[in-house]
Amino acid sequence: MGEPLPGDRAVKSAAHPTQPMPGMIEIEVLQARGSSPRGAGARIWVSATETRGTIGGGNLEYTALEVARGMLFGREKSRERPVGLEDSLDERCGRAVVLRFTLREDFPPEGPPAFEVVLFGAGHVGKEVARILERLPCRLTWVDPRPEMFPAQVASNVRASSRTNRRGWCTKRRAGHISSS
């Protein structure tokens, strides 16, 4: 079934309970010295089963997710951790960041989208691009004249449309719904 996720190791450890504490961990980049994947203020929120946001991806984010899920299972409520990117994580983009991990009750409310994207095509490439974009703070308008190409449900920040106007252009529809007429 594949390699266990970092959080799975925390669950199986005798030192940790088998159920995570309720809530989620907010991970914030407090400081970024030198070039780093994301600057100070970048955040990611991590529950036992879900993540939202990003602190830049790669080994830094993977390691931060491992720490956060370990905290949930270990009942730890806060921590600050300096991370040397070049040495400990084999990143080549910068020198160091300081991460703050804080227990929160729930994910923050979603704000307005940071940008808008119009994606044409719902083939295999379009579906992968849409899957990536739906996790970002953007509003996605996804257009394809073939309604059967869209998945049954789309994320709340996605408008999928196969409707065409008299000029043959697809038109926008409500977020989270597929239109075919």
pLDDT, mean of each 10-residue run, the chain (181 residues): 42 52 90 82 89 84 92 91 70 74 86 85 94 86 92 88 65 47 40
Helix boundaries (H) for 13-123: 58-74, 85-88
For tokens 């049954």, what's the residue?
152
pLDDT of 19 reads 73
pLDDT of 37 reads 79
152 with 180: CB under 8 angstroms? Answer: no
Compute φ and ψ for 44, nearest 5 degrees.
Answer: -140, 145
pLDDT of 3 reads 42
Helix boundaries (H) for 38-151: 58-74, 85-88, 124-133
pLDDT of 26 reads 95
SS3 at position 65: helix
pTM score > 0.75 for this model?
no
pLDDT of 6 reads 45
pLDDT of 9 reads 44
Q: How many residues does the chain have?
A: 181
Q: Within 13 Å and on the Cβ side, how many CA atoms surround 157?
A: 20
pLDDT of 30 reads 93
- Please give the Cα distance from 48 to 14 (Å, whole number): 18
What torsion, rounded to 10 degrees, do the Cα atoms 75, 80, 85, 89 define? -20
Q: How far is CA 161 from CA 87, 143, 158, 171, in A?
A: 47, 5, 10, 6
- Please give the Cα distance from 47 to 58 (Å, whole number): 19
Q: What are residue 159's DSSP bridge partners?
A: 141
Compute φ and ψ for 63, nearest 5 degrees.
Answer: -65, -40
Report which of 90, 81, 87, 84 is spatially closest to residue 33, judged by C-alpha positions: 84
